[in-house]
Amino acid sequence: MTRKVSDVTRTKNGRPVHHWRRDVVELAALFTAVAVADAVANLVGHGPDGPELLLVSAMVLVATAGFHTWWSRRHGHAPPTGDTGARPLPSEQQAGPSDRGSATPDPVAGESTLWRMRTTVKDEPGSLAALCTALAGQRVDILSLQTHPLADGTVDEFLLRAPGDLAGSDITRAVALAGGSDTWIERADAHDLVDAPTRMLGLAARTALDAAELPLALRQLLGRCTIRSLPAKPVAGSGSGPEAVPAEGVLEDTVMRLRAPEGGVITVERPYLPFTPTEFARVRALVELDARLGPRVPRSHDVLTLPEGSDITVRRADVDDLEAAKAMHERCSPRTLGMRYHGPIGDADRYLNHLLSPRFGRTLAVQNASGRVVGLGHLLWDGDETEVALLIEDAWQRRGIGSELLRRLVGMAVEAGCESVYAVTQSSNTGMVAAMRGLGLPLDYQIEEGTLVITARLETPLGASEGTVGVTRAEAP
């Protein structure tokens, strides 16, 4: 007979369940025991063999108790829970013999692989359940799930942990059979285990501290994508600027365009995977945060001692250093400016607004003891690539300043997750070539019409700079 719902509820909560039938049976057994005891007492007291019968009964009881004790010690067992109405113990706490070694091993507990997968399903009941069932059939564990609603469906983004021997194509095939379409999958790492709200807060904090972090934050948020910041006016001062975009931005399948705080346009492209409205809203929130906070750079600085004994200060620079940078241009020789800008010397000042803007990268400035800027180093975001460039005043060249700046710029690129950096110079610029070689990284050389492009692959950590004696770090007040 099936239990009532209330009985089942009381059993799950650990309270015994009482039945009137059991009470009647126990009461009948009690009366029967009393009747049997009275009959035995009359037989012992009034029968001819009363004492002998009492002695035999005692011996039988002792033998029965001894046999029960021996049997209990040899065959341990737990009382059945169904008779007591108590909650059953968890499987790992139940009494009795157990053989843990014979348990079936978890196929995912050993070597496993993390995957990021995105697929589109119909917005109807049961579609997500079908995907989960298909993944479970492949022994795939779902670690996190994000949903991106669309007009005609839903994009489900998964972080998966799969057996190491399961290929990504097997996962996408199972998802397709379960109703998923436009499926995209790639390897993930431990950083992807951070949930979306925590990741957004971290990216917002980085962007709030440094305006140059915005392109990096967008790349970490969206994965592999190309980000370009186009100024409102061309750097050279000729031609028309980019097409204006509305204040709310534009989302066109695989391209986002948003209005930059300084009046230009930020373009984000991801040809292999369309953007969703949810991603567009997150990107727009970061851009609006950057616009509200305005220009800003960290104000910490390092004091370095050169081998000759002179002290220099290395710090972050921005558009506030425009006049100091122009003054350094005036002290540089035409040859130095020509090797740096690869064009007419008269146009050198026009590039400084672009180079010093945190929107397009990071700039390090070197000051001497009197506070005069004697060197600039630039780390420029160039779509999927990253460029490094140096300019050292003639009187301060060959002192190790360029190597120190380059090492720090490449260190920033490593922190930003860049795979390589490149420098565009001339084959006659032996100082830049020597500085790139001094990084100790694998280098690729390309020469075309006198222009030398040196690409460094960021595969190994950078060692300490050999051109300085001491370093003192301080925070600006």
pLDDT digits (tens, 9 = 90+) for 278-302: 899 999 999 999 888 887 888 788 8
CB atoms within 10 A of CB 216: 21
**83-92, 139-148, 236-245, 273-282: which range is least confident on average?**
83-92
Contacts of 61 (CB under 8 A, 6+ apart): none
Query: 386: helix, coil or strand?
Result: strand
Q: Taking CA 210 as the corner, what is the angle to CA 438 and CA 235, rounded to the nearest 5 degrees?
A: 75
Residue 323, pLDDT > 90, answer yes
Distance CA 310, CA 307 (A): 8
Max mean pLDDT among 67-71, 266-270, 291-295 falls in 266-270
Distance CA 211, CA 301 (A): 17
Residue 316, pLDDT > 50, answer yes
Residue 106, pLDDT > 80, answer no
Residue 5, pLDDT > 80, answer no
Q: How confident is the model at residue 18 (pLDDT cuts 50, 70, 90)?
A: low
Greatest C-alpha distance within the chain: 139
Q: Is the pLDDT higher at 472 or at 405?
A: 405
Quote the mean pLDDT of the chain. Answer: 79
Q: Are the C-beta atoms of 115 and 169 separated by less than 8 Å?
A: no
Q: How confident is the model at residue 385 (pLDDT cuts 50, 70, 90)?
A: confident
Q: What is the pLDDT of residue 224?
A: 80
Residue 380, pLDDT > 50, answer yes
